[in-house]
Amino acid sequence: MEAPPVTVMPVTGGTINMMEYLLQGSVLDQALDSLLHRLRGLCDNIEPESFADYELVYLLKGQQGNPFLLRARRSMMHPTAPWHLRYLGQPEVGDKSRHALVRNCVDVATSHSLPEFLNEMGFRLDHEFVAKGHIFRKGALKVVVSKLFRVLVPGNTENTEPLSLSYLVELSVLAPAGQDNVSEEMRNFAEQLKPLVHLEKIDPKRHM
């Protein structure tokens, strides 16, 4: 997709182009405990962290077809922590044999004036949700088990309702472009989570 005409590339100079390798799946609420136990065993031996995040997705409609999406996330558990701004590109249409979804990823931390800043820039709030769950790590692999909540009254994070009866499970790795052994590692890890979860690469465009 093309970036909007105001800038050429998101970040230039001094940063490597990081790609996010992603596998997604879901697990029903009643199977959550077994999944957490299994992840505790498989992943690094640190206390699993739970998180509660409020994510706002901003959209900039350009003249061309695809709008530009930015995701702003703040932690509800640590209100003074900086906001997190993330850009995710379109999935790379590489060879089909690659086991994970690969897309360009840019992450920055920002101050608390991010929503106003984005509004001034011309972005409009497209949708928002709350995600609560647990995060596990195994080396470079990151496993996030989260429950998505719909925000009923915009801006009010207290009044939420769950989106479905399942938890979303995401396995991701941030790595520079061109490392294909990463997806092998991810696939091996995903094998160990079967049959509780089937982690697979899900093309979001297919479900548009």
Among 109, 121, 152, 174, binds another protein (CB under 8 A): 152
Residues 6+ apart with CB under 8 A from 118: 58, 70, 72
- The pair of three-digit structure tokens given for residue 40, joined into one six-digit string: 């505790």
Cα distance between residue 10 and residue 86, in whole Å: 11
Nearer to another protein, 8 or 153 (CB): 153
Q: Do residues 19 and 92 lie in contact, with contact meaning Cβ atoms separated by under 8 Å? A: yes
**Rounded Cα–Cα distance for residues 200 and 23 (Å):** 5
Token look-up 């979804």 returns: 101
Is 208 near another protein (CB under 8 A)?
Answer: yes
Position 24 contacts another protein (CB under 8 A): yes
**What is the per-residue binding string for another protein in 57-96, x denoting contact by CB under 8 A?**
x-----x-----x---------------------------
From residue 5, alpha-carbon distances to 61, 64, 120 in Å are: 11, 10, 17
Site stretch for another protein (CB under 8 A), options 9-17, 40-48, 158-166, 175-183: 158-166
Q: Which stretch binds another protein (CB under 8 A): 20-28, 110-118, 132-140, 181-189?
A: 20-28
Q: Which residues make up the interface to another protein (CB under 8 A)?
A: 24-28, 31, 34-35, 57, 63, 69, 124-129, 148, 150-154, 161, 163-166, 168, 195-198, 202, 204, 207-208
